[in-house]
Amino acid sequence: MQSIPPELSELLRSGPRADVPDPYPFYARMRRDHPVLELPGSDRPHYVISRYEDVRSVLRDDETFSSRANERGAGLVFGKTIIQMDGREHLRHRNLVTPALAPRALRGDFPQLVEKLAHDIIDSFANAGATDLVSRFTFVYPLRVFVEILGLPPDDLETFHRLAIDLTLIAVDPGRAFEAAKQMRGMLKPLIDAKRREPGDDLMSRLASAEVEGERLSDADVTSFLTLLVSAGAETTYHLMGSALCALLNDPQLLARVRDDREQIDAVLWETLRWEAPVSVLPRESTAPCEISGVTLPAGSDLMLLIGSANRDEEHFSDPDRFDIERNNSDQLGFGLGKHYCAGSRLALLEGRVGLNALFDRLHDLRLDSDAPASVIGFAFRGPATLPVRFRSSTSGHAGTGR
């Protein structure tokens, strides 16, 4: 077995929400010296995959590399969901939610609804002249949107978000994660019952009445679906927007350029997905013996795919540590790849685009409220913990000019 530097071993065994400031030097070292790194101390063979081409190949081959690995992590608290399903089972269940998240469902009046929610949140701090954009905006805005899609009570938004975050602590604080799962089920059960009695035009009603191969989803199935959707809907866009703002606020010239040309916001979001993937680690399990970068892995091996490392692989991306909105990011892996490509990717990009436009419309002379640069932290989930800013407020952009 390879000898693992202690600091690298500590990084890889840190919890998903460990406050890792900069894992990228370690990832570069892994790509160079240990592209397929076996971790000791597990009851199953456990490998960490760090190079772009290897990660991409694993994500594309869902027959050899199964998503059932999630059963031993997220599945313990979410229950059985699409993230641990393969093949036809995955497709049948995924088809229950994709209509609500597909491009055609995000047209019409929906962008105006998202824009109104963004401005309503900005109203709460627009006249203050200073705020923390993480706690006051990026943390709350995506889930407010998802509350509308799912049909959840808006008054419970903060509770749902807190529980969603606690669920991800299963590896480091299982007691807290299991308690969060229990509370989430307790909150969702009466809502599901109500939707079955009186369905509405929302995703929860659709799931509550859905059938797979002639059988209606059980309460446990619907609850697991909703728990996953709340977590995914809150987590991805929350970190995506925070990291995009972090990059812009640390580069005032780029911020001014994007404010003046809003057509570049999409490029900012795509580069953010590469530069700081919001969910930067994905698990898989090998179903048969296989070889990756010259290393033979037995069947039943657990794989930790380092999306964050793959997206900074110097063999695939030129000058990968530089934030560059001019680069072509069509092949970055921030939303995954293959059959498990993020079903909510279109929604996340819409929320990011509308949210950044709203901030730029309402907050003039936006700048960091500190001499220290803003920074992104985290291991499996990465985003800034705080973004203290100062600004001059404006109400004239409330209608959303989106220049």
Is the per-residue pLDDT at 399 higher than 60?
no
Residues 6+ apart with CB under 8 A from 38: 1, 2, 45, 46, 47, 295
Is the per-residue pLDDT at 337 higher than 50?
yes
Going by C-alpha positions, the residue among 278, 269, 247 that lies closest to residue 351 is: 269
Long-range contacts of 117-122 (CB under 8 A, 24+ apart): 117/141, 117/144, 117/145, 117/148, 118/354, 118/355, 118/358, 118/359, 119/358, 119/362, 119/398, 119/400, 122/358, 122/359, 122/362, 122/363
What's the pLDDT at 401?
45
What's the pLDDT at 403?
44
Structure confidence by residue, pLDDT tens digits, 197-222 = 998 888 888 888 877 777 777 888 88
Place of tokens 């081959």: 61
**10 Å Cβ neighbour count for 4?**
17
Phi, psi of 287 (to 5 degrees): -95, -10
What's the pLDDT at 1?
53
In terms of average pLDDT, the best of 117-131, 150-164, 196-210, 367-381 is 117-131
Structure confidence by residue, pLDDT tens digits, 103-144 = 676 777 889 999 999 999 999 999 999 999 999 999 999 988
Residue 283, classed as helix, strand or coil, is strand
pTM for the complete prediction? 0.91
Cβ distance 160 to 146 under 8 Å?
no
The tokens for 224 are 């697991």
Is the per-residue pLDDT at 196 higher than 50?
yes
Residue 219, classed as helix, strand or coil, is helix
Report all structural domains of the chain as residue ranges with CATH numbers, in order of start: 6-393 (1.10.630.10)
